[in-house]
């Protein structure tokens, strides 16, 4: 898979990655700031995401909404924040590329003069509504908060979710916003990928013009918490407005691109993803005691966690599901996967990889992948090696990874049960504290 690109680093530290693809008359602009909720501190959670909202409210030379000029030029655009990074993207017709660069560079260099209390309060209210809609008023919506809090200790940067705590959001001050911007939002902490129907030479001149004079800001210290382990099994219980109980089982696991990451990715698929997976076959297809199962190796920049989730069919307990999960994890650790499972896993990894490269941008696509490799590995040219990680997986390597990381004695088991039905949860579970 050959993705031809060029990488340039401007004097102020901004990484610029250019990729030409003339198949469709569109251009993807994708800008990463290497800051996410992991850069927050206890008592100030939710900040990186709230800040992302303010980036759409205008900057010094265009102190109005960020959307109208770009949508008027035919762009689609958005942004997202996770634990490790914040990204902003525009998908524009080629004639609007300069407009997108003008707008992105203005908010990188000149956001604060346009920031007002009114904008701040308005977007904080929007974020509180986002939290209500996607977490508080959604079945099982508080589970991620309880899970992360149990997996990572209180001072670990993955202890909290990106949306943040309500009290922290209410306590946030506009001066915190200014400080956050100066610390993290500058050329030295950003990576700009532009992909699509472009002439690289012309675009590099444009980027130099719009971004070259912006300041580089202070060096951002990498977040390096102590390595964490779970000392024992931790059983938690959450009562929620749900009809069917669901159990979430999670283990700490390796970081993105680290040893065992790809093995555990495939192990998660073999265990519980799709109709070919072992737990689907056993719990949903044969025994019919679960309504759904799923699993994912959630690998992040500093650490990861592998999580299996299963929802009990009416009349069945989470203990029945957990027993099957324990047995299937153990069987994978002892016997390893079948040859057919490995072959399927490899082909699926290849196909999913190619599917991701069908588009130049938006959420995902080539521009976003180039930035991910550049920001996390300092090497945008990682496509083949990334795929190679999956091609090298063997029966022994999956078996060993599962054995190393998925011990029943070092995991979090979170039961989410209907209100007033604590008895449906795993025995000896302690009530989780979330709001």
Residue 316 Cβ vs another protein, minimum distance, rounded to whole Å: 11
Residue 59 Cβ vs another protein, minimum distance, rounded to whole Å: 10
**Whole-angstrom Cα distance, residue 149 to residue 130?**
20
* Residue 277 CA: distances (Å) to CA of 106, 262, 332, 336, 348: 49, 17, 12, 14, 13
Q: Which is nearer to another protein, 24 or 170 (CB)?
A: 24
Instruction: Dump the DSSP string for 223-265.
Output: P-PPP----S-EEEEEEES-SS-EEEEEEEEPPTTSTTHHHHH
Q: Which is nearer to another protein, 195 or 414 (CB)?
A: 195
State the CB neighbour count (10 A cutoff) for residue 217: 18
Residue 126 Cβ vs another protein, minimum distance, rounded to whole Å: 5
Residue 232 Cβ vs another protein, minimum distance, rounded to whole Å: 32
Q: Are 194 and 366 in contact (CB under 8 A)?
A: no
Q: Which is nearer to another protein, 355 or 363 (CB)?
A: 355
State the CB neighbour count (10 A cutoff) for residue 273: 20
Q: Are 295 and 269 in contact (CB under 8 A)?
A: yes
Q: Which is nearer to another protein, 176 or 350 (CB)?
A: 350
Residue 22 Cβ vs another protein, minimum distance, rounded to whole Å: 9
Q: Which is nearer to another protein, 110 or 257 (CB)?
A: 110
**Whole-angstrom Cα distance, residue 48 to residue 37?**
6
Residue 103 Cβ vs another protein, minimum distance, rounded to whole Å: 8
Q: Which is nearer to another protein, 162 or 311 (CB)?
A: 311
Q: Are 11 and 212 in contact (CB under 8 A)?
A: yes
């Amino acid at each position: 898979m050959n993705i031809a690109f060029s990488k340039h680093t401007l004097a102020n530290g901004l990484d610029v990655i250019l990729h030409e693809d003339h198949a469709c008359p569109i251009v993807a602009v994708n800008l990463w700031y290497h800051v996410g909720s992991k850069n927050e501190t206890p008592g100030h959670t939710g900040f990186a995401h709230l800040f992302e909202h303010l980036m759409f409210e205008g900057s010094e030379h265009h102190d109005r909404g960020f959307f109208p000029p770009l949508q008027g030029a035919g762009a689609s655009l958005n942004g997202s924040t996770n634990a490790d990074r914040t990204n902003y993207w525009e998908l524009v017709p080629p004639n609007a590329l300069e407009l997108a660069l003008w707008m992105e560079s203005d908010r990188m260099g000149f956001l604060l003069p346009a920031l007002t209390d009114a904008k701040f309060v308005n977007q904080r209210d929007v974020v509180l509504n986002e939290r209500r809609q996607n977490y508080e008023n959604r079945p099982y919506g508080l589970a991620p908060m309880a899970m992360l809090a149990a997996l990572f200790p209180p001072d670990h940067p993955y202890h909290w979710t990106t949306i943040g705590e309500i009290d922290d959001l209410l306590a946030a001050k506009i001066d915190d916003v200014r400080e956050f911007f100066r610390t993290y939002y500058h050329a030295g902490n950003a990576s700009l990928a532009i992909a699509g129907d472009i002439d690289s030479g012309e675009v590099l001149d444009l980027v130099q013009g719009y971004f070259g004079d912006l300041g580089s800001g202070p060096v951002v210290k990498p977040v390096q918490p102590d390595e964490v382990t779970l000392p024992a099994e931790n059983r938690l219980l959450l009562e929620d407005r749900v009809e069917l109980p669901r159990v979430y089982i999670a283990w700490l696991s390796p970081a993105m691109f680290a040893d065992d990451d790809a093995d555990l990715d495939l192990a998660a698929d073999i265990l519980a993803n799709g109709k070919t997976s072992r737990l689907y076959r056993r719990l949903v297809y044969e025994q019919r005691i679960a309504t759904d199962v799923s699993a994912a190796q959630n690998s992040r920049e500093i650490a990861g966690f592998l999580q299996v989730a299963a929802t009990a069919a009416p009349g069945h307990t989470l203990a029945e599901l957990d027993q099957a999960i324990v047995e299937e994890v153990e069987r994978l650790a002892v016997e390893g996967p079948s040859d057919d499972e490995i072959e399927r896993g490899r082909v699926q990894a290849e196909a999913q990889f190619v599917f991701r490269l069908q588009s130049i941008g938006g959420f995902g696509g080539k521009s976003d992948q180039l930035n991910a490799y550049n920001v996390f590995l300092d090497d945008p040219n990682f496509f083949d090696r990334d795929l190679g990680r999956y091609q090298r997986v063997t029966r022994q390597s999956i078996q060993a990874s599962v054995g190393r990381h998925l011990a029943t004695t070092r995991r979090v088991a979170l039961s989410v049960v209907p209100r007033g039905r604590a008895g449906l949860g795993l025995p000896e579970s302690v009530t989780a504290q979330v709001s």
